[in-house]
Amino acid sequence: MSEEKKGFFKKLKEGLSKTRNNIVNSFSSVFGASHIDDDFYEELEETFIMADMGYETTEKVIENLKARVKEAKIKEPAACKELIVNIIRDQMMVDESAYDFEQQTSVVLVIGVNGVGKTTTIGKMAAQYKKAGKKVLIAAADTFRAAAIDQLKTWADRAQVDLISHKEGADPSAVVYDAVSAAKARNTDILLIDTAGRLHNKKNLMDELAKMRRIISRDYPEANVEALIVLDGTTGQNALEQARQFSNVTEIDGIVITKLDGTAKGGIAIAIQAELNVPVKFIGIGEKIDDLQRFNPSAYVDALFADFDEDRSELDILIEE
């Protein structure tokens, strides 16, 4: 296994350690049971709910497990562990084309309510793409407050990419207009647009996003628009609800779940991936510039549940990739 892959998994495991500890603790009691009965399933269900895997997903996993236990005539609780990991993995769809936008000329619209981690995520993405040799530009279309623009400037400097910004209170669409002109003139590969989270009013938000999209499709038809919604993983089921609400009013291509390092309820990523028809594409596992990873469902499940030795789970990742 390459150092890079080892590093990826180690970092993910560390980032998810709060959830992992939560699960591992209750698993040791659940799987300490002498046989498989209703109590066993109930305790298992509780563990998943506690980790915020959501009711719907939990029910599906338990039903599936019951069927497989019956089919394979399994008697030992411990034998269910690997089954569970596999069932959860199967629930999570992996969209092969999820990252196509990275290979094209793209405009990434980053949306979400305030405080979820939009600006931070843009900084991290900019750094990754820049490192990968791409021409990156950032636009400060969150003109709601001066501090937002300054914060984005700090990230742009850190990532060593250019920033297009206007003054506080300026029309966000005017920023997008200028950013698109600059992106075209500079042959930019990826233009990342930071948007305001404070326009919680649905109508304002929709109008603003629609206006930005119109400008992009009119002035930059050759670019592919990738709308990413950022969700704060520590808000659990609320995050799921936010994603639902946003997808009702605007087109969303992918989800970013942040702050998974700050919660013992990282099962929310599994619920979101399983319950929405939009793929989770990135996860934030810390505040630093390299604390953003592509979402790898298989590695995620291993990092949370697997207690078989590390080589084994790393092998799984290798096989999968």
What's the order of all strands across the beta sheet hosting 280-284?
Answer: 162-164, 136-141, 190-195, 106-111, 224-232, 254-258, 280-284, 292-294
Among 77, 117, 236, 266, binds ligand GTP (CB under 6 A): 117
Greatest alpha-carbon span in the chain: 69
Residue among 212 and 317 whose Cβ is closer to Mg ion: 212
Is 142 a binding residue for ligand GTP by CB under 6 A? The answer is yes
Q: Which residue's Cβ has the minimum distance to ligand GTP?
A: 284
Q: Which two tokens stand for residue 285?
A: 């596992």
Strand 280-284 versus strand 292-294 pairing type: antiparallel
The tokens 């290798």 sit on which residue?
Answer: 318
Sign (positive or negative) of CA dihedral 187, 129, 4, 157: positive
Is 266 a binding residue for ligand GTP by CB under 6 A? The answer is no
Is 235 a binding residue for ligand GTP by CB under 6 A? The answer is no
Minimal distance, residue 220 CB to ligand GTP, in Å: 24
Residue among 26 and 250 whose Cβ is closer to ligand GTP: 250
Beta-bridge partners for 138: 163, 192
Residue among 119 and 296 whose Cβ is closer to Mg ion: 119
Among 17, 247, 262, 307, binds ligand GTP (CB under 6 A): 262
Length of the chain, please? 321
Is 119 a binding residue for Mg ion by CB under 5 A? The answer is yes
Residue among 172 and 286 whose Cβ is closer to ligand GTP: 286
Residue among 261 and 316 whose Cβ is closer to ligand GTP: 261
Minimal distance, residue 131 CB to ligand GTP, in Å: 18
Q: Which does 117 bind (CB under 5 to 8 A by kind): ligand GTP, Mg ion, none?
A: ligand GTP
> Kindly report the CA angle at 113 between 110 and 114, in degrees rounded to 5?
100
Distance (Å, whole) CA 70 – CA 309: 27
Query: Any alpha helices (H) in 72-145, and if so which ranges?
Result: 80-91, 118-131
Residue among 120 and 173 whose Cβ is closer to ligand GTP: 120
| Footprint of ligand GTP (CB under 6 A) | 112, 114-120, 142, 148, 197, 258-259, 261-262, 284-287, 291
* Interface contacts to Mg ion, rule CB under 5 A: 118-119
